[in-house]
Structure 1
Amino acid sequence: MAEQSKTVDWAQHGLTNSEQRYSPLTQIGAENINQLSLAWYYDLPEQRAQEATPLIIDGVLYSSSAWNHVHALNAATGEVMWEYDAKVDKTNAGRACCDAINRGLAFGDGRLYMGAIDGRLIALDANTGKELWVTQTFDLSKQYSITGAPRVANGKVFIGNGGAEYGVRGYISAYDTSTGELVWRFYTVPGGPGDPTGTEPVESQTATWDGEWWKLGGGGTVWDSMAFDAELNLLYFGVGNGSPWNPMLRSNGKGDNWFLSSIVAVDADTGEYRWHYQTTPGEGWDYTATQHLILAELELASKPRKVVMQAPKNGFFYLLDRASGELLSAEPYVPVNWASHVDMATGRPQIADAAKYWLTDTPALITPSWMGGHNWHPMSYSQQTGLVYIPAHISAYPYLAEPDQKPSKLTVNMGVDTTIAAFPDEPEALKQVQDATYGMLLAWDPVAQKEVWRVQYPGVWNGGILSTAGGLVFQGTATGFLAAYNASTGEQLWQQPTQTGIVAPPVTFMVDGEQYITVSAGWGGVFPNMTGPLTRDSADGEPINRSRLLTYKLGGTSTLPAPTTQARTLPDTSHITTDPSKVARGFATYDRYCVHCHGAGAVGGGVLPDLRYSAMPLSRQAFKSVVYDGVLSERGMISFASELSEQDIEQIRQYVIDRNQQARRVGETQRLSR
C-alpha cells in the first residue's frame, strides 16, 4: 500500500517506546515545504504555558493543556469530538515550581492517562472522554505535583512527580492500567526512620547520604523523562535535583546522594533495580537528569551497540549501554566550567574546586546555569542522518550559599542566595547579560561526540524537536515562529509566525493520505516567568501567550485571526514615598516567594502579571487582600499568610512600587498584553 493511502499515528509521547521523535513520513520534504501552511487551529481554554505532546490515533488528535484539560479533536479538521476538565483546584498552583502546565497524555488499550497537578492519575475512555478510574498518587499534605506525561507498557502506567525544591522525597510508581491499583514504587531518595520503602536497593542507597537529609525531603523527583526497552523489559527514567540544592544543607556536603541526577533502569514488571548512572554525584547546581532519554542502536568501534542517550542540564552528552549502564562516552555539548571532563575510567565528572560554592562565602559563576545546557524540551534522533537535535541553551548563574535559609512549603528551598543574580537596571548592562544568554538548535553527532551544525536564536526557551524521513527538522521558537530546517545542513527552509512563543515539541501524522504537522503553542513556563528581562521580542512585539493547537499541511487554507493587543500604561506611583530599608527587605522576600511567577525585578515574562504595571500596589489594603488574605486564590494566587506577616507583605509592596518607579526612570512606560 502506498504511503499516501495510509493513516499513520503518533500514539506515544515520543512516537515509539524509544522516544526518538523521528517520523518515517516523507510526503512533506524540502522540495515542497514552501507549500506547507495552516490547515486548522484550535484555541485552548487557559492562557498559560502549553507544553504537551499531542497524540494522534485513528484520525483523532488527543492533547492536554494547562490546568489539566483534555481535548479530543478530528485530526484532519480540528472539529471538537469531546473535552474533559479535571477541575483542578487552582490553589494547587502553589505546588508547581514551573507553572500550571501539563506535558501530555499516554494511551493504551482504548484508554488515555493523564497526571494532574494535584496528584491524581486519571484514566479516560478514548472514545468518549468518560472517567474510568482515578488514583491519588501522592500525599496531599506534602508539596508534590505532576506536570509530566505518563508512559504505558506491559499493562502498567508509569508516573513520577515534581516538587523537589519544596522539600519532598522523589519516587516513580507503576499502576495497573485496568484498575489503577499500585503495582510497584521505587523511591529515588532513601527515607528517614519509619518512612516507607519500595523496590529500590535501600542499604546501598542510604550509604551515599549523611546526616538527617529526610527532614528536608532530599528531592530526586522523577518529573519527566522515561523510555522503555521491550526486549530487555527495562524502564529507564531520569531523576531530578536535590532538595535543597546546597549539598551542605542537604547531606552535610558528603556522599554521592543516590539517585539524584541519575539515569536509572528497572524491571518494568517489578520495579526491581537493574542499574543506574549518576551524571552529577552530590548534585549542587540543580543539574537534573530528567531531560529527554533516547534509545537507539549506534555503530561504535565498528560494532552495533544498543544505547541510551541523554543531554542533561549539566552540559555533557552521555552515551550509555542500555543493558548494563556502562558509560561509553561523555563530552560537553555546551560550554561547561563546573567540571573539567568526565573520567572514563571511573565515570565521574572531575568537579572544579571553584564550583563548590557551598564550601566558601563567595559567589561562583557557573555554566551551565540552573536552566541547563538543555532543559525539559524534547530532543530528537534522526535515523536518516544519525544526528541528535538538541534545543540547547547558553547561560551562566552566580551561585552563593545561603546556609541559614529556613524551609518553606510555599516556595522553593535551594539554600542559595538568589538576590545576587538580580538583573541590572542600566539598559546597556542588561543588554550584555541578554547577549550572553541565548538558545540554539544544535545538531550533534552522538558517535563522534561533536557538533555538526547549529542555528542560533536570540533568546532561550525554544521548543522541542521533531525530525522526519523527509530530511527535515521542525522546531518552534520563543520569538513566535514554527520553522523547518534541512536535517543535514541546518539551512532554514520554511518559517511561519505563530503569534506566540512555542515551547512544546511538534509532531507529525497522516490521515487519509495527507501528512500533517501539529504543535501546542503558548508561551510560558519557568524561564519566562522568572526571567522576564531575558525574554526577547516576538514576531508581533513583546512575548505574549496565545494558547492554541496549530496544525499544518501542504496547501492548507486556514489563517490565524489578526492578533489583538493593548498597551498597558505604567501606573504613576511618583506620589508614593518608599522606605529604602523596607524596599531592601521586600526585595529579599520577593526574590524568595514571588520571583518564580512574577519574574526577577518584578518584570513579567509575558504570561503572568507584570506587577510594575498593576494598580494593586497603589493601595496597601488591596495588596494585602491579595497576598495575605488570598482573595484571588481561585485564580491560582494563593495566600502567603502562613509564612509571611503583614509587615513582610508591605515590604514586598514597597519593593514593587520601587520597581515601577525604576522602570519610569529608564524610560519604560508601556507594555503589550493580550
Structure 2
Amino acid sequence: MKPLIAFVSFSLLSLAIQAQAATPANVDEARLRDADQQPQNWMAHGRTYDEQRFSPLTAISDKNVAGLGLAWTQKLDVDRGTEATPLVVDGVMYTTGAFSIVYAYDAATGKPLWKYDPKVAIQKLSQGCCDVVNRGVAVWKGKVYLGAFDGRLIALDAATGKEVWSVDTVLDPNKSYTITGAPRIVKGKVLIGNGGAEFGVRGYVTAYDADTGKQAWRFFTVPGDPALPPENEAMAKALKTWKGNGWVKWGGGGTVWDSMSYDPELDLLYVGTGNGSPWNYQFRSQGEGDNLYLSSIVALRPETGEYVWHFQVTPKDRWDFTATQQIILADIKIDGKPRKVLMQAPKNGFFYVIDRTNGAFISGNNFVQVNWASGLDPKTGRPLYTEQSDYSKAPKVIQPSFLGAHSWHPMSFNPQTGYVYIPAQDTLAELKAAKEPLFLPSKSVVNFGLDVPDLPEDPKVLGQIRSLWRGKLIAWDPVKQQAAWTHEYVESGNGGTLSTAGNLVFQGTSDGRVVAYAADSGKQLWEHRANSGVLGGPITYEVKGEQYVAFMAGWGGIMPLIAGPLTDKGKVQPESRVLVFKLGAKEQLPPPRQAPVLPPSTPPLTASADEIAQGRTLFNGMCGSCHGLNAISGGVIPDLRYLSEEKHKAFVGIVSGAFMNKGMPSFAGVLDMPQMTQIQQYIIKRNQDLRAANAAQ
C-alpha cells in the first residue's frame, strides 16, 4: 500500500501545482509561508515574509558562476531610476520601471506578455524627492498590485494587465504624497505606505482589502493637530514626545515609504518609518522630545493596524536618518541561545539586532564611520550623541550624510554563512540650520529647515571630497557585530544584494556592472557589463529546471539628482533594462548610450561676480535637487551646462512653466525675472568652467 499512497500523494501535489500555475500569480498565504518549498519562484518582494532575500537554489554556485551569460534582455520605456525587485511566479516575471509602468514577461525567454501604464502625470515628477522610481509589485490570487507614483494603489488582472480596481491613498490632495515602495500582502490585505516627508506630509501606512480595494485600517506614524483628540492610544503616547505644534504646518513626516516584513507565527507586521518634516528639529518640535514614531520600527497587528510595540532607531531625528531600510527576520543563536530577532542597518550607520517578540534591544554597532554618536547605550540602544550632531547654532559636518550609511538598496541574509550583506557607503555632508522656516507656494519645493550647503566648484577640491564618498559591500556578522569581509567600491549608491545556497552574493553597481562574490570569503567570481548603474535587488528563479539570475538596470534615484557633483557618470548614462542571466547563454548587450556633447556656443557671460554668486545660491536652492548642486548633473536630469543656445533663448519661458508637460515645474511666482537671469548667468559660467577644465586636460 505504501507505494500506492506515495503515488496518490505525488499525483495530488502535481495536480495542485498545475492548478496554481493555470491561474497566473495564484499566490496566497499558504504559498508564501511555504516559499522555501517552491524555490523556483520569487513570489514576494523579499522572496519570503521574513524578507531575507536568500534563495535555496544551487544549480548556479561558486563552482560554475563564471559561466553565466546573458540569456535575455528587454529595454524599458523610460531611461530613469529603475529600482524594482522583480517577482517570478510559475514562469512569469512581473516588474516595474520609472513612472510606475508594469511589465509582464515570459521568465525563460523574455517574451513580453503585457504592459500597464498608469499614466502618472508628468507634472508629478517634481513632487517627489527622489525621482519617479518604483520598487516593484505584489501578487495575490490572480492579481498584480501596484503603488503608483501619484499615490494610487491599483489592482491588475495578472493574466491581461487590465485594471481591476484603483484607490487613492492620498490623505490630503494639497500635499505632495507619492508612492515609490512595493506593496506587501498579508492575510488578504494590501499594505502600502507613502513618501513625501521633504514636502511636508504626515506619515501613515494603510491596509486595503485585496479583493475590493476597500480601506481596512490606517496607522499614523506621527501625531496630528494637538488641538484635536488623538486617533488612538498610540497617537496619545506619541503626542507626549512632541513640543508645541510647529510640526502640524509641515505634517511631521515619518513616512512608511519602503520596508515591511511579517512574522506569521507571532502575527506581527513590522514597518519602518522615515525622517521628520522638516529636518530641522528646532522648527518641528522646538528642539525637544524624541518625536515618536519618527525613524522607528513599529510592530502592528496586520488585521487591525493595532499598535503592539516600537523601537526608535534615531530619537530626536534631525539628520534624515530614516529607519525605512530592510527589516530582516531570522532565528539566530546569541550567547548560545536561540533568539527571534529582526535586523536592520538604517541610514544612521548602526546595525541593530532587536528581539522581534517585544522590541527589546539586543545589540548594535556601527558598520561605517559615524561622528554624530559615539555609540549605543548597551541596555536601551539609544544613541550616545556627540557635540558634532547638533547643527542648531553652527554648521556641522555629519557622518554619515543624509544619503545614509545604507539607503533603500536591499540587503540580504544568508542563514548558511550567518552573514548579512549590506550595500553600505561612506558619506558626509555639512548641515546648517536656516534662520527661519521656509514657506513657498509651490508643492515642488522641498523644505528641510536648512540652508542648502555649498560644494566646492574647484575640480581638485571636489575630487578630494568625492574620494570620501565610497561604496562598500559588507558581509556583516550580526552575532559578533563586526564585518566578516568587505569589498570596496570607488562610488557610493550601489545596488541591493541577493544571497544563495550556492555560496554566492550577487550585486549590481553604480558604475554599470553586475557582480557575483563568494558568500563566505567575498572573493569576486563573475562580472558582466550592465550599460547603466544598477540599483535594485537582484533575484534568482528557476523555469523547467534551469536557474536564472535577474537584475533591473537603470541609473537614477537621489544620488544623481542632488549629489551630481559627487557621482561621475560621464561614461555610464541612464539606460533602463531587464537583464537575465543563465549558465552558458551568449546573448549580447547593445553598446551603451553616449555621453552628451557640449554645444558649439552659448550666450555671453554678462553678470558681475556678485550676481553670479547670487545665481549660484538660487540655483542650488531651487534647481540643485534635480539638476545637481553647482549645475553638475548625475546624468538622469539634463545637465544644464550642456544647454543649447536655442534653449538659452527660451530659458525664462521654460523656468516659468513652458515645459511643464515635460516634467519641468513652473517657478513663476517663486522666482522673479532678475533671479531667473541670475540663475541663467550662473549656468553659462559653469559651462565656461567645464570648457576650461576640458581644455586643461
Normalised TM-score (structure 2): 0.92
Structure 1 segment 494-505 matched on structure 2, within 5 A: 494-505=526-537
Q: Write the distance in 2 (CA, Å) between the matches of 1:566 and 1:330.
A: 43
Cα deviation 1:252-297 (Å, max 9, x = unaligned): 0000000111111111111010011111111011100011110001
Other-structure match for 1:325: 359
Counterpart for residue 23 of structure 2: none
Percent identical among aligned pairs is 49
Q: How does 1:485-564 map to 2 (within 5 A)?
A: 485-536=517-568, 542-564=571-593
Counterpart for residue 648 of structure 2 = 619
Residue 33 (structure 1) aligned with residue 61 (structure 2):
no
**Separation (CA, whole Å) in 1 of partners of 2:695 and 2:206:** 49
Quick one: distance in 2 between partners of 1:296 and 1:90? Answer: 41
Equivalent residue in structure 2 for 1:640, among 667, 670, 678: 667
Within the candidate set 135, 141, 147, 1:109 is matched to: 141
CA distance in 1, matches of 2:47, 2:231: 30
1:219 aligns with 2:253: yes
- What is the Cα deviation at residue 204 of structure 1? 1.1
Describe the SS at the equivalent of 1:209.
Answer: coil
Q: In 1, distance between residues paired with 2:671 and 2:231?
A: 37
Contact 2:363/2:381 (8 A) holds in 1: no
User: Measured at CA, do residues 654 and 347 of structure 1 come closer, stay the same or move farther in structure 2, by a change above 3 Å?
Assistant: same
Q: Distance in 2 between matches of 1:151 and 1:233?
A: 15
CA distance in 2, matches of 1:576, 1:281: 48
Q: How far apart are the structure 1 equivalents of 2:156 and 2:647? A: 47
> 1:176, 1:642 → 2: CA distance?
43
Aligned to 1:239: 273
Q: How big is each residue's C-alpha offset from its partner over 1:171-195, in whole Å with a ceiling of 9 and x where there is no partner? A: 1101110111111111111111576
> Aligned to 2:597, what secondary structure does the other structure show?
strand
Q: Does the CA contact (< 8 Å) of 1:249 and 1:403 recur in 2? A: no
Distance 1:571 1:262 in 2: 52
CA drift at 1:198: 4.6
User: Residue in 2 aligned with 1:77?
Assistant: 109
1:167 is aligned to 2:200:
yes
How big is each residue's C-alpha offset from its partner over 1:626-668, in whole Å with a ceiling of 9 and x where there is no partner? 111x222122112122422233322221221121122223236
Q: For residue 82 of structure 1, report the CA deviation from its aligned partner.
A: 0.7
Amino acid at match of 1:561: P
Secondary structure of 2:66's counterpart equals helix
Specify the alignment match of 1:209 in structure 2.
242
* CA apart distance, 1:40: 0.2
Could you tell me how far apart the structure 2 residues matched to 1:656 and 1:217 are?
Answer: 34
Task: Report the Cα distance in structure 2 between the residues aligned to 1:669 and 1:15, rounded to whole angstroms.
Answer: 51
Deviations 1:605-637 (A, max 9, x none): 1111000011268635x1111111x22212211
Query: 2:412, 2:497 within 8 Å by CA — same for their partners in 1?
Result: yes
Aligned to 2:6: none
Q: Does 1:188 pair with 2:221?
A: yes
Of 263, 268, 293, which residue of structure 1 is paired with 2:302?
A: 268
Residue type at the aligned position of 1:385: T
Q: 1:107 to 1:242 in 2, by over 3 A?
A: same
In structure 2, the residue corresponding to 1:73 is in which secondary structure? strand
Q: Shift in Å at residue 580 of structure 1?
A: 2.6
TM-score by length of 1: 0.95
Counterpart in the other structure of 1:586: 615
The question of whether the paired residues in 2 share the 8 Å contact of 1:187 and 1:197 is answered with no
Deviates more, 1:526-535 or 1:298-307: 526-535
1:126-153 deviation per Cα after TM superposition (whole angstroms, max 9, x unaligned) = 1111111000000322111111111001
- How far apart, CA to CA, are the structure 2 residues paired with 1:565 and 1:345? 54
Distance 1:50 1:33, change over 3 A: same
Moved more, 409-418 or 579-588: 579-588
Task: Confirm or deny: 8 A CA contact 1:499 1:546 kept in the other structure.
Answer: yes
| Secondary structure at 2:422 match in 1 | strand
Give the SS at the match of 1:568: coil
Contact residue 232 and residue 323 of structure 1 kept, 8 A: yes
Could you tell me which amino acid in structure 1 is paired with residue 256 of structure 2?
V
Distance 1:364 1:587 in 2: 21
- Quick one: distance in 2 between partners of 1:196 and 1:70? 41
Q: Which amino acid aligns with 1:343?
A: D
Q: Is the contact between residue 283 and residue 437 of structure 2 (CA under 8 Å) also seen in structure 1?
A: no
Q: Rate the CA distance shift 1:192–1:616 in 2: closer, same or farther, 3 A.
A: farther
| 2:93/2:107 contact within 8 Å kept | yes
Unpaired runs of 5+ residues, structure 2, are 1-9, 15-36
The code of the aligned residue for 1:647 comes to: P
Structure 2 CA distance for aligned equivalents of residues 137 and 163 of structure 1 = 13
Q: How much does 1:472 deviate?
A: 0.2
After TM superposition, the structure 1 = structure 2 runs for residues 11-22 of structure 1, keeping only pairs within 5 Å, are: 11-22=43-54
Does the 8 Å contact 1:184/1:199 carry over to 2?
no
Of 491, 498, 507, 1:466 maps to 498
Determine if the alignment matches structure 1 residue 281 to structure 2 residue 300.
Answer: no
Correspondent of 1:150 among 178, 183, 186: 183
Structure 1 residue 570: Cα displacement:
4.5
The one-letter code matched in structure 2 to 1:610 is: D
Output aligned runs, 1:556-575, within 5 Å. Answer: 556-565=585-594, 567-573=596-602, 575=604
Task: Give the Cα separation in 1 of the matches to 2:239 and 2:646.
Answer: 48
Question: Which residue of 2 is the match for residue 354 of structure 1?
Answer: 388
- CA change 1:526–1:543 in 2 (3 A) is same
Whole-angstrom CA distance in 1 between matches of 2:190 and 2:227: 28
CA distance in 1, matches of 2:627, 2:577: 23
String of CA shifts for 1:493-522, please: whole Å, max 9, x gaps.
Answer: 000111111011110000000000011100
1:658 aligned to 2:685?
yes
Letter aligned with residue 174 of structure 2? S
Shift in Å at residue 463 of structure 1? Answer: 0.4
* The 10-residue stretch of structure 1 (634-643 or 10-19) with the greater mean CA deviation from structure 2: 634-643
CA RMSD between the two structures: 1.9
Q: Contact (CA 8 Å) 2:432, 2:453: kept in 1 or not?
A: no
Tell whether the 8 Å contact from 2:398 to 2:431 is kept in structure 1 after alignment.
yes
Residue type at the aligned position of 1:256:
D
SS of the residue corresponding to residue 473 of structure 1 reads strand
Q: 1:355 to 1:22 in 2, by over 3 A?
A: same
Counterpart of 2:166 in 1: which secondary structure? strand
Is the CA contact 1:480–1:502 (under 8 Å) kept in the aligned structure 2?
A: yes
CA distance in 2 between counterparts of 1:355 and 1:196 reads 34
Q: Which runs of 4+ in 1 moved over 4 A?
A: 193-200
CA pair 566-331 structure 1, distance change in 2 beyond 3 A:
closer
Letter in 1 for 2:652: K
Instruction: Name the CA distance, whole Å, in 1 between partners of 2:39 and 2:157.
Output: 22
User: Match for 2:326: what amino acid?
Assistant: H
Aligned-pair CA distance for 1:415: 1.3
CA-CA distance at 1:429 after TM superposition: 1.4
1:313 paired residue number: 347
Name the SS of the counterpart of 2:453 in structure 1: helix
Q: Quick one: which amino acid aligns to residue 521 of structure 1?
A: A
Equivalent pair of 2:76/2:578 in contact (CA under 8 Å):
yes
Matched, 1:596 2:628: no
Aligned equivalents of 1:76 and 1:496: distance in 2? Answer: 19
Compare 584-593 and 41-50 and name the one that shifted more: 584-593
Whether the 8 Å CA contact 1:337–1:366 is kept in 2: the answer is: yes
Give the match's secondary structure for 1:418: coil
In structure 2, the CA distance between the partners of 1:66 and 1:618, relative to structure 1 (3 Å rule), is closer
2:580 maps to a residue whose letter is: T
Q: For structure 1, which runs of at least 5 residues remain unmatched after alignment? A: none
Q: C-alpha displacement at 1:574, in angstroms?
A: 6.7
| DSSP 3-state at the match of 1:484 | strand
Q: Secondary structure at the match of 1:141?
A: coil
Q: Kindly provide the CA deviation profile for residues 425-479 of structure 1, in whole angstroms up to 9, marking residues without a partner as x.
A: 3232122111111001000000110011011000001000000000000000111
Q: 1:347 deviation in Å?
A: 2.7
Deviation at 1:301, TM superposition (A): 1.4
